[in-house]
A and B are shown apart, each in its own frame.
Chain A
Amino acid sequence: MKQIANFIVNGKACELAIEPHMLLVEVLRDELGLTGTKQSCGIGHCGACTVLIDGIPTLSCLTPALTARGKNITTIEGLAEGTRLHPIQKAFIDYGAIQCGYCTPGMILSAKALLDRNPNPSREQVKQALSGNLCRCTGYVKIVDAVLAAAESMGKEASE
């Protein structure tokens, strides 16, 4: 039996009728058309499906959609302000941290959660924060560089 559920997705309220067995990743991708959230392993081991729920990085492939009722969900589509990219997005582009791009949304959201709570992380802390996100293309080197560069540019922005 479908149930009515309310979410705030990327700052916008939405009301949906969903089956209780539906996972958050399905609701985002299939019902809301937010295909930026990727599914890669489906068992909680790769981080491609990471979204932020009330700011906390969460694996949407393991999250029953109904448990996110009433919560604030941020997906990769919610990061840029209009055409103004988030500094983490910009750094990923500038530093060549994106190859096939399939892990990228999850990586960027994990990085955002880190920088929101620790604006000045060390290289090691960045690695720890991204340790649940697998990437097969980049060897992670440029991803770490990008996150550190984003932290720096966000720090500068904040002090301006």
Chain B
Amino acid sequence: MSQKLSVVGKRIIQPDAAAKATGAAMYASDLKMPGMLIGKVLRSPYPHAKIKRIGKSKAEKLPGVEAVITPEDVTQWKPFDRGLKDLPMIAGGYLVPPDEHILNERARHFGDAIAAVAAINEHIAEEALELIEVEYEELPFVIDPEEAMKPGAPQVSDVAEGNIGKHLSYPFPEGDVEKGFKEADCIVEGTFSTTKQEHCTAETAAAVAHLDVNGRINIWSQCQVAHMARREIAHIFNMPVSKVKLMTPLVGGGFGQRGSVCAEPICIALALKTGKPVKLEYTREENFTALESRTGFKYNLKIGFKQDGTLTAMQVYMLGRLGGYMGCGPMASVIGMVFGLGHYRCPNRAGEADMVMTNTPVSGAFRGFGNPAMMWGIEQLVDEAAEKLGMNPLKIRLKNIKKAGEIANMGLRLESTYLDECIKRGAEAIGWKEKWGKKKEGKMRRGVGIATMTHCSGAAPLYLDHSNAFIKLNEDGSADLTVHPAPLGQHIWGALSQIAAEELGILAEDIHIVTGDTDITLFEYGSDASRSTYAIGSATLIAAHQAKEQILERAAKMLGVSPDELEIKERQVYVKANPKKSIPVADVCYDAIYNFKGECLNISGKCSWEGRWNSSPTGAFFAEVEINTETGRVKVIKFVTAIDCGKAINPMTVEGQLEGGMQQGIGYGLTEDYIINKDTGVVESDNYDTYKMPGILDMPETEVVIIDKPDPKGPFGAKGVGEPGMVGVAPAIANAIYDAIGVRIKDLPITPEKVLKALGEKSQ
């Protein structure tokens, strides 16, 4: 595709950036309505307890308190699936009867919601919480999945017998793994474990709800999948979908955590009970304990290779911790297997997973979903095999990566891949040749490491991948584009504006995004699975194309030529053969609206898009680390991400996504540890004093290499880029550590203690 592009590929500034830079931007946490009450939630201090009695009269009597609700006050409403995944999907038929209530009679994890209040201000609401008297009966609890699977372990959920929330199989098994291992000359295997990383969205969960004069629920929700949330909310509150109006304000970070319903159900319950607008904003501690965070795994992985480095078999058994409720956790195993086992060309593949219920906060989706967890092990074992086979880590990867046209990770055609270029250019940027495999001496030792990945640009074919776009041209030649991605900070409004403007031949600033209201927007599955630019962008492109054809048709009449003789550039329709003959787009649009000749037509286009293909972004990650062999401290000196995300719609945004991915990946790799006390079940890391996410001083020198070659299917050649950024960061660091000091850390995060212990074992 050698299309000349004038808007796509430009580093345009974002439509919402000025509002965010001046403090004018409105987030859910900033909303205020006349007479609005403030909600607060009482949460269980125990990991597992029955509520024997709740006394709420003292709290109710406190002046300023308008409602105190307990589990018995919410029984008319249905239990729900917070992960919003109760739709048929091919990956393991993951339909489980939801058994989470708005408030729960039996607390199943530390931080589970027990009661809630609405009061005229936050202080009174907090005071009211303290006046609620709860008599708990503490129950035996289990926090470790292996323990939970043993006979006689405390039963977490009534719908998960033996605490197996779900047994899942890899949906794209291939060949015969036993045969594959027999054919192997070299087999590497290991047990790896990954952590329950917390999203640390800058804005905590927040929602505002009220009942309007027509009895409709109005809810401002941060949910990344707005229309799916509306559906679930209608279900919970026994209402038709038409009785729920869901609005999406700007969101202070999502990363998958807002792919589930968060504060919405309790907020709406309080609004229905009081008949007044209610705002419910979680504290940071509630964000850690009441919301979903990354699904932690322990898994056994085995990979076989031929002497020449060719893969013969891959097999994994994963054990995942779900927590007290189902959430999005189960899918993390399936997606992990899909991305991990489908990354390289391998004729024999198999995977199984047990997802186990435990008395811990719920597990869910976090950027990359299961991909970072699986690549953590796969990329370390590939390095191990390379060493055994006497091969360079780059070479063994180049040998096994897939080519365009093969079957990709998601079971569909691999539309395009430039992973070989990512590996080569990334290696150059980190200085691989000069630095890798060199002899190390002294107290401070440096090393470099690589990891690669393949991801997705949407949910197809595993899950619903349905997007819509509607565009109309105004009489001044500008356009209103109606779409409903979640504005999480990923610059999606800008990217969609560029796609629409490019197609229409106008400027990005001519596009006005109409969004954030389910009354106005067409159905949108939403912003997850790195799908917004690809899927909503595809819908936008087709809608814009329809509108463009109408412009050309009218312009042709006005200029006395045929439509295919025309082109649109910078707001002007030109006769290609005679560019002196032209007419402004605005004049065409004006004539279409104020016509008076019986030919009125508001130029517009609309597209319903359903993913039938799914272009995989690929990437290579390179870390250079320095290790203090006396303290075990690992410092990342430089990090390079080389990405094949198709055509970069906005390179500045792509860089931003990948740089942000490095921060999250370095945290996942080195410092972010979600600590649950084994004896008490209490979450001990619930704010930034106890949970260390990387600050500015923890960041290395960084470099992003964008291959920038268009994909045949994505809009203007774009593929997804949101999630890939963090996938390979931690394994690249682990491999660099091995290069530096010859030890392998298989349990995340890589703490100084683990490094010292491994060094000690090695020297023995």
Do these two chains interact?
Answer: yes
The answer to whether B23 touches A34 (Cβ under 8 A) is yes
In whole angstroms, what is the CA distance A76 to B19 when docked?
Answer: 11
Complex Cα gap A30–B24 (Å): 15
Query: How far is it, in angstroms, between the C-alpha of A45 and the C-alpha of B687 when the chains are bound?
Result: 9
Contact A80 B659 (CB under 8 A): no
What are the interface flags for A1-45 relative to B under an 8 Å C-beta threshold, 1 for contact and 0 otherwise?
A: 000000000000000000101000010011001111111111101
With A38-B203, A103-B202 already in contact, the answer to whether A46 and B688 are too (CB < 8 A) is yes
Q: Which of B471-479, B486-494, B497-505, B627-635 contacts A (4 or more CB under 8 A)?
A: B486-494
Contact with A along B253-275 (1 / 0, CB 8 A): 10100000000000000000000
Is A137 a contact partner of B23 (Cβ separation < 8 A)?
no
Question: A93–B202 contact, CB under 8 A?
Answer: no
| A135 neighbours in B (Cβ, 8 Å) | 202, 663, 696
Instruction: Decide yes or no: A102 and B202 within 8 Å by CB, A43-B689, A80-B22, A93-B18 being known contacts.
Output: yes
Name B638-692 residues within 8 Å CB distance of A. 652-653, 655-656, 658-664, 687-689
Interface flags, A92-113, vs B, CB<8A=1, else 0:
1111101111111100100000
How far, in whole Å, are A104 and B32 apart by their CA atoms in the complex? 21
Closest-by-CB residue of A relative to B688 is A45
Cβ-neighbour of A104 out of B21, B251, B659, B693 (below 8 A): B21
Q: Which of B205-263 contact A (CB under 8 A)?
A: 250-253, 255
Which residues in A have some Cβ–Cβ distance to B below 8 Å?
19, 21, 26, 29-30, 33-43, 45-46, 48, 75-77, 79-80, 85, 89-90, 92-96, 98-105, 108, 127-128, 130-144
- Whether the pair B199, A136 counts as a contact (CB closer than 8 A) is yes
Chain A residues lying within 8 Å of B658, measured Cβ to Cβ, are 139
Tell me the residues in window 499-535 of chain B with beta carbons closer than 8 Å to chain A beta carbons. none
Interface centre among A29, A38, A137, A144 (most CB of B within 10 A): A137
Cα–Cα distance between A45 and B207 once the two chains are bound (Å):
24
Identify A139's interface contact among B14, B24, B32, B663, CB under 8 A: B663
Q: How far, in angstroms, from A100 to B121 measured CA to CA in the complex? A: 27
* B27 to A, closest residue via Cβ: A102
B278-290 near A? 1/0 per residue, CB < 8 Å: 0000011000000
| Closest Cβ neighbor of B252 among chain A residues | A102
**Interface pairs (10), CB distance under 8 Å:** A36-B24, A37-B23, A40-B252, A89-B22, A99-B489, A101-B250, A134-B202, A136-B200, A139-B702, A141-B655
Chain A's nearest CB lies how many Å from the CB of B93? 35
**Residue pair B695, A134 in contact (C-beta under 8 Å):** yes
Residue ranges of B at the interface with A (Cβ–Cβ < 8 Å): 11, 13-14, 16-27, 29-30, 32, 121-123, 199-204, 250-253, 255, 283-284, 488-491, 652-653, 655-656, 658-664, 687-689, 693, 695-697, 699, 702
Min CB–CB distance A73 → chain B (angstroms)? 13
Most buried by A among B14, B203, B653, B687: B203
A71 to chain B, nearest CB (A): 19
* A131 contacts B697, C-beta separation under 8 Å: yes
Complex-state Cα separation, A76 to B746, whole angstroms: 45
| Closest Cβ neighbor of B254 among chain A residues | A100
Chain A residues with CB under 8 Å of B27's CB are 102
CA distance A103 to B656 in the complex (A): 15
Say whether B21 contacts A92, CB under 8 Å. Answer: yes
Q: Which of B16, B655, B696 has the most CB of A within 10 A?
A: B696
Residues of A within 8 A of B14 (CB): 93, 96, 98
Tell whether, in the assembled complex, residue A79 and residue B17 are in contact, meaning their CB atoms are under 8 Å apart.
no
A134 contact set on B, CB distance < 8 A: 200, 202, 688, 693, 695
